[in-house]
Every structure is written in structure tokens, then in C-alpha cells.
Structure 1
């Protein structure tokens, strides 16, 4: 599913959640180029049947927090603790965003390649160039931090992509993506920090069913609304 900049900026939270819940990993010994390293991430991601993780989110200066759940090949759910009760679900066919503050439900039919799969990561390789941000060696996650990661940066190949660049920090010990930071052409920064992963729990499709709260205002095909 390819989104233009106008739609992304207008509906950023739901779209960013759909695109950037790929909290998976790979740290391949002997990889010498950033592109090969990133391909290893995609290949490793393809081996996961499901996962769950806690994610701290910051959009500009607005903090959020959620639990993200994924099941191969294309199901995703985010249950928010901040803002409380906010929910985003993608069942492989439809994207549902429940926004409790406005008692609104946004829905969108969204078939096609989901960027939270290995196929989606391959699409990022196609539309972005990949390089090491700090070289192949381990560097602190933040300045002065004891947590060491490998950092990649992806630059868009054309102006049609929703993000100017995407940064990924990969933990070389747990082999999981620790942080994703994406910057739009307008300078809005989306940051996702993943922790407390649980892998291959044997989840079923029932986990991704969602009953829309009664009384909520429903807006269909919101990505393409005026």
C-alpha cells in the first residue's frame, strides 16, 4: 500500500503505525555492506510467525505508548496505554483506527503488500538507499548511553516517498530492531522505541478481530477523504 505525502501528513498516526510496526531484527556476522545487512533484517523477519512488543512512540513532541502485536504474513494490532484505549488494527484487508478522544473510528480497505512483512522491507530497499549511519561498529543508542547498537540510515530515492529518511538502531545482542526514527519532508519526526519482545507465541487470527465501540462515528476510506 503506497501512501502519498498529503494523505500521510493528514492521517499520520494510523499510517505510521501501519508502516513502522516492523519491530524485528537480524544481526548477521560477516555482513560488510549496509544493503546486505538490511537484507538480512528482511530475511530474518520472514522467519517470525508472530511477535509482541512494547513500543514508546513520539510524534514531534507528543509522547505515546502501546503494545504492538504482529502475526505473519500481514496482521498487526496496536493497543495504546497513552492515549488510553486507542486501538489500531490491520487484519490483512482492512485498517481500523479507533480514536477515543473524538469517539471516532477510521477504516480503510488496504489490500496489497504490507510493509510490516519481509516483502515490505524489501520495498524499502527498492525505494530507499541504505547506508551505515555511524559505520559498521557498535555505537551508543543515545549520547552517553551504555546501550550499544548498529545504526542504519535509509534515504529516499525520489520525492514521492512519504519520509525523507528513516533511521534504524539494531541491538547486536538480541538481534532486534531497537529504534526506528522517520522524518517527513516537512520535518515531522516519528520515533518508535521497541522493548520487551515476545516471539512466536502461537497467536491466532482471533487476536486481530476488533468490535467497533457502539456510538462511535465511523469514517470509511479515510486515507482518500478530502
Structure 2
């Protein structure tokens, strides 16, 4: 009887911990207005045979302003200024841009830096894995570019995001040294087209 009570208590504690991941995600979107971190991104092919790794820095300021600065192995900058998303590839000296409303929707960037959550995603418990508590965020639009997303927290700290796209490709962002509520200059989310760069409007 005692063993059954202990098992039931452990099971209840596990369910509560998983439920907390969803609440932690809600609190993150509601309360954390700015943040920055280093990141490592690992992209795995649908068959699991091929992996690509890149790294850089991520910053955001709600609503709808963020900056991904890829540094290795190739440089690339992605900036959302509240109106448009700009992608700059210095090797090609090429810039592409599109309206924020078209570029975001139910995407990882919208999840992390957007102003809405419940309207774009169905939230559920993702369980414990790798020392993190995960919240599952399934886009409400079934024909979008992503099948599912998971957001991992270490306590209340954002630790990882894992995405599976419509082709079965898996991308994982692991964050290091996440800082919440930091003062970020407004010009971090302003993009100026470099001289001579080709600009593609989408």
C-alpha cells in the first residue's frame, strides 16, 4: 500500500511538472519582453543521416522584433523590425525582405518574439527529456511550414526549441547564457541595406 501511495505521489508530481512547462511558456511570452542568448542550431535530415550545425546570437524585443546573427560556419543576419523581416547573406551580398505578417505566422520566431500565443498554437505537455521540461506548441494552421514545435525550459529559463517542418526535417536551437529583461538598443532591430546589395522583395 505504501509503495502504491509513493508511486501515485511520484506520478502526480511528474504530471504537475509537465503542466508547469506549459505555464512556464505562457509566462515567458507574457512577462519576458526582451532577451538575448547565444545559440547553436542543429538541423537533421528526415532520415537522420545528415546533420548541419551553425551558431550565433539571438535577441528579441516584444512585440515582433528579433535578430538572429549567424556567425559560424557562414554569416547571415535575420532582422524583424516590427514591419518586415530582412535576411542578409553577406557572401552573396543579397538581401531579401517580406512583410512580417507573411513571414511569421505560426513560426518559432513568432513563438519566441511575437505578441500572441494561444491564437496561433495549441499548447500541450511535452514531458521531460534531457534535463528539460518541454511544452509542445502545435500550429493551429495545419498546412503551414511546420508540423510541430517544442520549447524546453530549465526551471524558468528558456533552454531549447525543437522544430519539425512539413518535410520531416528537424531543427533544434540550444540557447546558452539566456538573459531576460535586458536593455537592448532600438537599432539592434533596424536593418539598413548594405551599399551595392541586391534586394529581393517577396
TM-score scaled to structure 2, two decimals?
Answer: 0.74
Residue equivalent to 2:32: 48
Matched, 1:132 2:126: yes
Structural mapping, 1:1-226, within 5 Å: 32=16, 37-60=21-44, 61-111=51-101, 114-117=110-113, 119-125=115-121, 128-134=122-128, 139=129, 141=130, 148-155=131-138, 159-172=142-155, 175-221=156-202
Give 1 or 2 for the bigger CA radius of gyration.
2
After superposing on structure 2, the runs of 4+ consecutive aligned residues of structure 1 that deviate more than 6 Å are none
Q: CA 1:130/1:33 → structure 2, altered by over 3 Å: closer, same or farther?
A: farther
Measured in 2, the distance between the counterparts of 1:48 and 1:35 equals 19
TM-score of the aligned structures, taking structure 1 as reference length:
0.67
Q: Which has the higher strand share?
A: 2
Q: Which runs of 5+ in 1 are unaligned?
A: 1-28, 142-147, 222-226
Partner Cα separation in structure 2 for residue 39 and residue 105 of structure 1:
38
Q: State the alpha-carbon separation in 2 of the partners of residues 208 and 62 from structure 1.
A: 27
Kindly tell me the number of residue pairs found equivalent between the two proteins. Answer: 178
Q: Is the 8 A contact 1:43 1:118 kept in 2?
A: no
Q: Output the CA distance in 1 between the equivalents of 2:150 and 2:26.
A: 15
Q: C-alpha root-mean-square deviation of aligned residues, in Å?
A: 2.8
Q: Deviations over 1:41-65 (max 9, x none)?
A: 2233322231110011122322111
Check 1:102–1:196 CA distance in 2 against 1; reply closer, same or farther (3 A cut): same
